[in-house]
Chain A
Amino acid sequence: MTLILQQLVEGLASGTIYAALAVALVMIHRATRIVNFAQGEMATFCVYLAWQMTVWGLPLYVALAIAAVLSFILGAAVFRLAIRPILSAPPEAIVVSCIGLFIGFQAMSLWLWGSDNLQFPRLFSNTIWTIADVRISANTAGMLVTLALLAGLLAAMFRFTRIGLAMRAAAAEREKSPYVGIEVETMLTLGWGLAAVFGFIAAVLAAPSLFLSPTMMLSVIIYALAAATLGGWDSPAGAIVGGLVVGVAETLGTTLVKAIGAELRLAIPFLLITLILFVRPQGLFGRSGTTRV
């Protein structure tokens, strides 16, 4: 029992990473019907930027804040330069662009910082609490709190602010939005920027445990895809729940199911996606009819 609880806690920790990246994917998909699988590589690049700034002597949290702003700019710029011009092109063309971005950003990180694993500073203290034999680290707690905070902020923004409402409108009703004075492309650009920030946060949470390398997010994106599919591709809340479920399923599955084990941990997202697609294709939080392509 303790073992299971312990795995549950570990799973929630990695789940926060998947959730944050899944939120980024869902935000972009909701607004532009694109699955940006270069999101992880873009995020890794920005974590490298943050790391570089700490090497130059900036305090960690300052470096993170600056890198988050740069992520936003990067996401917005990628949309304006590479995606917006082909937004009306066949979906396959956009897929190739994303592959190009994927290769390009990975290569850029490799070129500037090399392929060695770099130690990324921990964000939270090393304290470990033991509650009923289950060890909970301050790191795990910190990650969960971070995610909860971000999710709350995002929800509040979408719900209560003028810009958030406009972003939702631009995503849901691209045709009608200009009739109320919303510049749709500006909103989509903001959406891509914001998504890039979420991707960046996912990568920052992942970096201390996965070590910083150009391919750090390669497997994370797989879990995030599973999380987004599980939650529903139009629901940020679903993405968060999906991320946590995928995280827990991963740790429980690899410890409890011998046939899977550590080697085949990537089978878990695959099985989850298969399951959800045949049981409830629109995802747990998705509404049917919105899964159109």
Chain B
Amino acid sequence: MNALEIHGLSAGYGGQPIVRDIRLTVGTGEIVALLGANGAGKTTTLRAASGVLRHSGKLHLDGQDISGVSAARRVALGLAHVPQGRGTFVDFSVEENLRLGAYSVTSAQRIQDDTAYWFGVFPRLKERRAQLAGSLSGGEQQMLAIARAMMTRPKVLMCDEPSLGLAPAVTADLFVLLRDLAADRGTGILIVEQNAHLTLEIAARAYVLEHGEIAIEGSAATLSRNSEIQRAYLGIEA
């Protein structure tokens, strides 16, 4: 069974559809890339999937139909979303960000354990636990955003352009982290990226969006090899 299944999802702003009939799946522990040119509808797809944008179509999380469920409820059920840009609450401390991430977690013990765990993974965040998230560096904020999203121990994590504005070395660290999350914790990960090249290295499969529709899907290996596709859709000169 797939961790996340999306069928016939359409969504847009002000009645104007941006994405149409999206169909994609993310398996347990699988990393899936959602690629496409600027304005192809990648962010819109994620926003619709997480429920902050009204949409039609069906979504199943771990087999459970979540199509009619509110955004907040989807988080509680295990669909996490790190939105584009700063996914942190900038006026709140690092610790408070983690508490916010755990908003739908009821067990105090689990919150405590997970906070300790993520502080272990990111010692920088532990050092800055009382600092406002807005005062962190871009890389630290992105780490915090992911830790925050992981506080619910989600089944699927969706990341919107996690590498945006980060230095190459930091991006590399981040991608290693994502790969470990999928491998060690079985979290299904859906990554939207401009940086197709790097993403295809950690992803198992990929979808390419064009003008709001899925134009190509296939294994990451196939896509990386096909220079035709790379030139036409991903802006990579082979």
Find out whether A and B make contact in their complex, taking CB atoms under 8 A apart as touching: yes
Q: Is B216 an interface residue (CB 8 A)?
A: no
| B81 and A179 form a contact (CB under 8 A) | yes
Q: Closest chain A residue to B99 by CB distance?
A: A165
Contact B100 A169 (CB under 8 A): yes
Question: Are A176 and B51 touching (Cβ within 8 A)?
Answer: no
Interface pair A165/B51, CB less than 8 Å apart:
no
The size of the chain A interface, using a CB distance under 8 A, is 15
Within 8 A of B (CB), among A124-178: 162, 165-166, 168-169, 172-173, 175-176, 178
> How long is the Cα–Cα vector from A165 to B96 in the complex, in angstroms?
8
CB neighbors of B among A9-45 (8 A)? none
Judged by a CB distance under 8 angstroms, whether B45 is at the interface is no
A179 pairs with B91, CB closer than 8 A: no
Q: Which of B89, B90, B152 contacts A181 (CB 8 A)?
A: B152
A residues 252-268 in Cβ contact with B at 8 Å: none
A181 — which chain B residues lie within 8 A by C-beta?
Answer: 72-73, 75-76, 103-104, 152
Decide: A173 and B89 in contact? CB cutoff 8 A. Answer: yes
Determine the residue in chain A with the shortest Cβ distance to B104: A181
Smallest CB separation, B135 vs chain A (Å): 13
Q: Are A178 and B51 in contact (CB under 8 A)?
A: yes
Say which residue of A165, A175, A179 sits within 8 Å of B50 (CB atoms). A179
Q: Chain B residues with Cβ under 8 A from A172's Cβ? A: 89, 91-92
Main secondary structure of the interface of A (DSSP, over half): helix
Complex interface residues of chain A between 240 and 256 (CB less than 8 A to chain B):
none
Contact present for B103 and A176 (CB under 8 Å):
no
B87 contacts A by Cβ under 8 Å: yes
Collect the chain A residues with CB atoms within 8 Å of residue B36's CB: none
Complex interface residues of chain B between 177 and 211 (CB less than 8 A to chain A): none
B70, CB-defined interface residue at 8 Å: yes
* Chain B residues within 8 Å of A, Cβ to Cβ: 50-52, 70-73, 75-76, 81-83, 87, 89-92, 96, 99-101, 103-104, 148-149, 152
Q: Can you offer 20 A-B residue contacts whose CB atoms are under 8 A?
A: A165-B92, A165-B103, A166-B100, A169-B92, A169-B100, A172-B89, A172-B91, A176-B89, A178-B50, A179-B75, A179-B87, A179-B149, A180-B101, A180-B103, A180-B148, A181-B75, A181-B76, A181-B103, A181-B152, A182-B100
Q: Which A residues are within 8 Å of any B CB, using their own CB?
A: 162, 165-166, 168-169, 172-173, 175-176, 178-183
